[in-house]
Structure 1
């Protein structure tokens, strides 16, 4: 298992970085639509869709929705203040605050949505649509003056999330004793949580020192810390939905890593939260 995880990671990481820096905005947006469609297919399990046909339709509808939203924008403009983008990013903040309450009160909170397919589908909508627009908005950051500015920001967020995940795993294995959320994800510990924060802080400091990120240190720290905390929440939220669905992995598309949602669960929270803070709250335009 570990060998397949390492091999897959060694293949995927260069592909992800290449997509961030070399794909043009339209190609990047199309790639994100495909990723969100695959994630929607897996989300169908969380919504109680046992039929492959139902999940295929859910995936197709997700792709059509994102494509329709994308093509209603002015040509070559992905300005964060356009209604489609801004509304989605603000909605992400509201959703992840609500998700935090659901996770903290689980399993009692499950009584509110366990038997409601529309609610579970709404949760998927609030997870995937803001994630899509967060990725697209960050990729478009200052694109006219510097085509790679947004790529650096996306790489920064991804490294924060990867650092938090890796740090949590290592510190949790070495020192983990106190459970973080035993009713949601018994394997996660407070020691791992703080270890992940330390790793993310180190990565943020190194990356900010070496990469061309033209934002004040205070703004960067606030955005980085909140995005890292959101990434942990994204992971816990998916674990909660998987527990309710009675599954271990969201899929088996990625060898050794499970499904698409298993790989992007942290990013679905971290990216839109970071984009909303950076572009709408602090208005670093």
Structure 2
């Protein structure tokens, strides 16, 4: 199992790093579009719609992603990402416009927040008893919307700069790693024993502290001008101030945990351990991106509040 996990991780890194480093927009956009399409296939299967219906949802995710990227003017197929960034006007904060440095209007991200926050609250309160009684088509549509929003945020974040996108990824990774080690060392009170028995409140606090430490170090590094763009943390610090930045990060950390729990709940309701076996040794795509799904659009929503 360990050998399989390592081999899969090496293959993923070998594919992802060149796409991230490419000057053209399309390698990263295409690769991530394939991933969210696969996640759509998994989501359908987890929600009692396997077979051809799962392939239909996968195709719908890909098609809707391409359609929305075209309508919003995202640089999906451009030969050079920076071409779009050079044309963006500074200090735009109108509701119908994208914030400075970005391309998607802020209302798209706040729509995502308006869906994700009550959805996770309802799922964690009543999902264990009622999720499978929700109409199947509605469950699949929710998956479609959430996956397309996450992909749009990936493309818009990549257009902003590699440093920004990696800082969002690292928020989720730091929260997860901190929670794992903090929970193992100090975990006493169960966070959601009926959904994910291994998670504890102490692990959540440890993950939060880890993220705040990473954010502080990242801001210091950004100030030396080593990166291609400001990170999420620097933008929050300059746009919202120290208190506002910490509050925004707390919300993102909470949504990272919630995203993980929601996927665990859906898998538990489906009676499976992993969302699929597409990634040998790691489970499925959803198993790897569950926490990112709410964090990506909410991080972009937070950017609309930054006036610096």
**TM-score, normalised by the number of residues in structure 1:** 0.85
The question of whether the paired residues in 2 share the 8 Å contact of 1:89 and 1:133 is answered with no
Partner of 1:268: 293
Q: Following the alignment from structure 1 to structure 2, what is the Cα–Cα distance between the partners of residues 178 and 264?
A: 26
RMSD over aligned CA atoms reads 2.6
Does 2:139 align with 1:127? no
Please give the secondary structure, in 2, of the residue aligned with 1:72.
helix
2:130 to 111, 119, 124: 111
Residues 1-285 of structure 1: pairs in structure 2 closer than 5 A: 1-13=1-13, 15-50=15-50, 52-74=51-73, 76=75, 81=97, 86-107=106-127, 110-111=129-130, 114-141=133-160, 150-211=161-222, 212=227, 213=230, 215=235, 216=238, 218=242, 220-278=245-303, 280-283=304-307
Partner of 1:147: none
CA shift digits 1:121-172 (9 cap, x unpaired): 122023212111111221222xxxxxxxx21111001111111111111122
The offset of 1:74, in angstroms, is 4.0
Deviates more, 1:52-61 or 1:67-76: 67-76
The question of whether the paired residues in 2 share the 8 Å contact of 1:37 and 1:62 is answered with yes
The offset of 1:118, in angstroms, is 1.8
Partner of 2:91: none
Structure 1's 107 and 228: CA in aligned 2 closer, same or farther, altered over 3 A? Answer: closer
The offset of 1:244, in angstroms, is 1.3
Deviates more, 1:217-226 or 1:239-248: 217-226
Structure 1's 5 and 222: CA in aligned 2 closer, same or farther, altered over 3 A? Answer: farther
Structure 1's 246 and 81: CA in aligned 2 closer, same or farther, altered over 3 A? Answer: farther
Please give the secondary structure, in 1, of the residue aligned with 2:258.
helix
Q: Following the alignment from structure 2 to structure 1, what is the Cα–Cα distance between the partners of residues 208 and 74?
A: 40
Please give the secondary structure, in 1, of the residue aligned with 2:27.
helix
The offset of 1:200, in angstroms, is 1.4
CA shift digits 1:190-248 (9 cap, x unpaired): 11111111221121122221134253153543443322221111101111111111111
Extract unaligned runs of 5+ from structure 1. Answer: 142-149
Extract unaligned runs of 5+ from structure 2. Answer: 76-83, 89-95
**TM-score, normalised by the number of residues in structure 2:** 0.79
Please give the secondary structure, in 1, of the residue aligned with 2:291.
helix
Q: Following the alignment from structure 1 to structure 2, what is the Cα–Cα distance between the partners of residues 140 and 277?
A: 17
The offset of 1:3, in angstroms, is 4.7
